[in-house]
């Protein structure tokens, strides 16, 4: 019973349902695992054992009452920009180091409704700005496959927690790759749903037109279970889509013979590691073996501009979103400098980290009078072009398949002082984010002992097809719930 933390959520659900163990036992197993490995992994900013045990007791009561859901009693990590009433929510920033929200995010409400168990608030790059968790004000997380490496980011804590057995599934958020890239680097599955599929109410905003909450898990089925739980219209988020929700579990275990797969050549560029390239080529062969029609001649010529578009739009939105942190109402406040304006300046100077300040400045500049047309407006126009190219592609293909990241996990410290090198980590995940398309990263093997991720991109609200492709691929490859030894 001590290794319950090794189970996937759906395996755990079977065990709970058939009374092989209780939710409290499952939670205690995960809490014990956290005690054992958390000092080395540092997946969490805040652990919530008390909350978890109480929720686990409630979960057991639900099993007894027959009102359990597939997530009842399942230990979950929640990225620390997801607002949780009564539980400190920092967004990885010193400026919110003492912020205890009086309200719940929509996604956390959904988890509570499902009876899930929150074991902690996962570490992240400050305000989700980063690809390694090194920009967390609370110190970096470590990759469970090799503790000297980064787990990716910004949802690095969530991915590391899943891979280290410090939870069974996790919630992350993705703005330009922040779920998929850490999932790839940690050898787990991560899904970024269509923009608008999941309510952003209670998600501390970074890039409002890009942010989307999504699940990270040890196999496609777990990710799908979580996605079904958190998706759906929420009147409190006007960008949340009222489209009817497909039951994604329905698309597990499907035959994908005849699925038309486009492989955009712009994703196979210099800077991509040979080992990554080899795993992707093998993955394409797997799809061909499954009877899919794989076309390697697709061209999405504007792909290379996605990085520039992203680094204009996201920082612009962030420059406004982060204006509220002035030390007056909540959070870190430096009031030792005399006037109100001086105190605000020092609060922001001391409360924000370097990367956050860099992006606030980038965004402020891009929106400034005289620059707006050349930067922000131009970026929006190119965004439309990128969208159109994707739409044309989806006229011919059901899904697109690319690498998730050009490299495997890299050493802590290797890129933290080189922002542009750090930004290039997301080069394959940015285009789908900019377009608002759903995408999923699934493990496709190892390179030099480290996981490689395969990205599957679908059309708007076509999560069913990426789930079908990802699940069929996962089964064919025989890689699911593979955990590194710690």
Partner 1 sequence: MVAVATDFETVIGLEVHCQLVTKSKMFCGCSADYSGAEPNTHVCPVCLGMPGVLPVINEQAIAFIVKTGLALNCEISPFSKFDRKNYPYPDLMKGYQISQYDLPVCHDGWLDIEVDGATRRIGITRVHMEEDTARLLHRTDPVTGEGYSLLDVNRSGTPLMEIVSEPDMRTPAEAREYLVRLRQILRYIGVSEANMEDGNFRCDANISLRPRGITAFGSKVEVKNMNSFRAVHDALVFEQKRQAAILDAGGSIPQQTRGWVDERGETVSQRSKESAHDYRYFPEPDLPSLRFAPEYVAEQRALLPELPDARRRRFASLGLSEAEAATLTESRDRADYFEDVSRALALDPQRSAKLAANWVLGEVGRWSNTTGKELAAFPVTAEALAGLIRMVEDGKVTSAVGKEVFEEMVASGRAAQEIVESGGMGQISGSDELRDVVRKVIAANDKAVDDYRAGKEAAVKFLTGQAMRETRGRANPQVIQDLLKQELG
Given the rule CB under 8 A, which residues bind partner 1? 81-83, 89, 91, 96, 99, 101-103, 105, 200-205, 208-209, 235-239, 316-317, 319-320, 322-326, 328-330, 340, 344, 364, 367-369, 372, 376
3-state secondary structure of 27: helix
> Shortest Cβ distance from residue 201 to partner 1 (Å)?
5
CA distance 469 to 120: 31
> Shortest Cβ distance from residue 369 to partner 1 (Å)?
5
CA distance 455 to 192: 10
Of 367 and 452, the one with the shorter C-beta distance to partner 1 is: 367
Tell me, yes or no, if 405 is annotated catalytic.
Answer: no
CA distance 272 to 22: 46
Instruction: Give me 326's structure tokens.
Output: 């002035």
SS3 assignment for 336-381 = CCCCHHHHHHHHHHHHCCHHHHHHHHHHHHHHCCCCCHHHHHHHHH
Of 386 and 393, the one with the shorter C-beta distance to partner 1 is: 386
> Shortest Cβ distance from residue 234 to partner 1 (Å)?
9
Of 106 and 415, the one with the shorter C-beta distance to partner 1 is: 106
> Shortest Cβ distance from residue 341 to partner 1 (Å)?
8
Of 146 and 208, the one with the shorter C-beta distance to partner 1 is: 208
Cβ atoms within 10 A of the Cβ of 372, count?
Answer: 13
> Shortest Cβ distance from residue 111 to partner 1 (Å)?
15
3-state secondary structure of 292: coil
Closest to 196 measured CA to CA, from 182, 206, 211: 211
Of 146 and 387, the one with the shorter C-beta distance to partner 1 is: 387
Alpha helix segments (H runs only) across 118-234: 156-164, 180-186, 220-230
> Shortest Cβ distance from residue 320 to partner 1 (Å)?
5
Residue tagged active-site, from 79, 155, 316, 441: 79
Tell me, yes or no, if 257 is annotated catalytic.
Answer: no
Of 370 and 478, the one with the shorter C-beta distance to partner 1 is: 370
Q: What phi-psi label fits residue 261: left (phi over 0), alpha (psi between -120 and 50 degrees) or beta?
A: beta
Residue tagged active-site, from 105, 132, 136, 154: 154
Tell me, yes or no, if 368 is annotated catalytic.
Answer: no
Closest to 407 measured CA to CA, from 392, 391, 425, 395: 425
By annotation, the residues acting in catalysis are: 79, 154, 178
């Amino acid at each position: 019973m001590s290794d319950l933390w090794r189970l996937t959520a759906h395996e755990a659900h079977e065990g709970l349902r058939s009374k092989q163990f209780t939710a409290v036992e499952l939670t205690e197993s995960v809490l014990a695992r956290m005690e054992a490995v958390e000092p080395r992994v540092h997946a969490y900013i805040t652990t919530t054992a008390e909350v978890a045990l109480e929720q686990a007791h409630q979960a057991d009561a639900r099993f007894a009452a027959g009102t359990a859901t597939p997530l009842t009693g399942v230990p979950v990590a929640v990225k620390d920009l997801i607002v949780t009433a009564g539980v400190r929510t920092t967004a990885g920033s010193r400026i919110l180091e003492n912020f205890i929200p009086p309200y719940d995010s929509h996604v956390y409400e959904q988890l509570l409704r499902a009876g899930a168990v929150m074991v902690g608030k996962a570490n992240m790059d400050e305000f989700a700005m980063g690809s390694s968790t090194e920009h967390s004000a609370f110190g970096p997380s470590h990759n469970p496959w090799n503790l000297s490496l980064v787990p990716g980011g910004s949802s690095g804590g969530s991915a590391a927690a899943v891979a280290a057995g410090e939870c069974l599934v996790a919630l992350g958020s993705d703005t330009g790759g922040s779920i998929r890239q850490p999932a790839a680097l940690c050898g787990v599955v991560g899904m970024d749903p269509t923009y608008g599929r999941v309510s952003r109410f209670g998600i501390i905003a970074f890039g409002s037109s890009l942010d989307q909450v999504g699940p990270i898990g040890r196999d496609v089925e777990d990710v799908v279970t979580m996605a079904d739980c958190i998706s759906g219209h929420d009147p409190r988020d006007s960008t949340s889509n009222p489209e009817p929700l497909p039951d994604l579990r329905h698309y597990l275990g499907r035959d994908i013979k005849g699925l038309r797969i486009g492989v955009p050549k712009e994703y196979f560029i210099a800077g991509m590691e040979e080992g990554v390239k080899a795993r992707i080529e093998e993955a394409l062969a797997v799809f061909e073996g499954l009877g899919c029609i794989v076309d390697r001649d697709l061209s999405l010529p504007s792909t290379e501009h996605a990085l520039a578009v992203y680094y204009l739009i996201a920082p612009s939105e962030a420059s406004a979103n982060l204006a509220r942190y002035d030390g007056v109402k909540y959070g870190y406040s430096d009031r030792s400098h005399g006037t109100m304006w001086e105190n605000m300046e020092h609060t922001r100077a001391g409360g924000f980290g370097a990367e956050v300040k860099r992006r606030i400045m980038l965004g402020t500049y891009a929106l400034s009078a005289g620059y707006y047309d050349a930067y922000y407006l131009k970026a929006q126009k190119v965004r439309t072009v990128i969208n159109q190219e994707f739409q044309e592609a989806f006229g011919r293909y059901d899904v697109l398949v690319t690498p998730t990241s050009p490299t495997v996990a890299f050493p802590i410290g290797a890129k933290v002082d080189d922002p542009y090198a750090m930004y290039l980590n997301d080069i394959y995940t940015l285009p789908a984010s900019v377009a608002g398309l759903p995408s999923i990263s699934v493990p496709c093997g190892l390179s030099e002992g480290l996981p490689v991720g395969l990205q599957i991109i679908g059309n708007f609200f076509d999560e069913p097809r990426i789930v079908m492709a990802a699940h069929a691929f996962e089964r064919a490859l025989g890689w699911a719930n593979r955990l590194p030894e710690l």
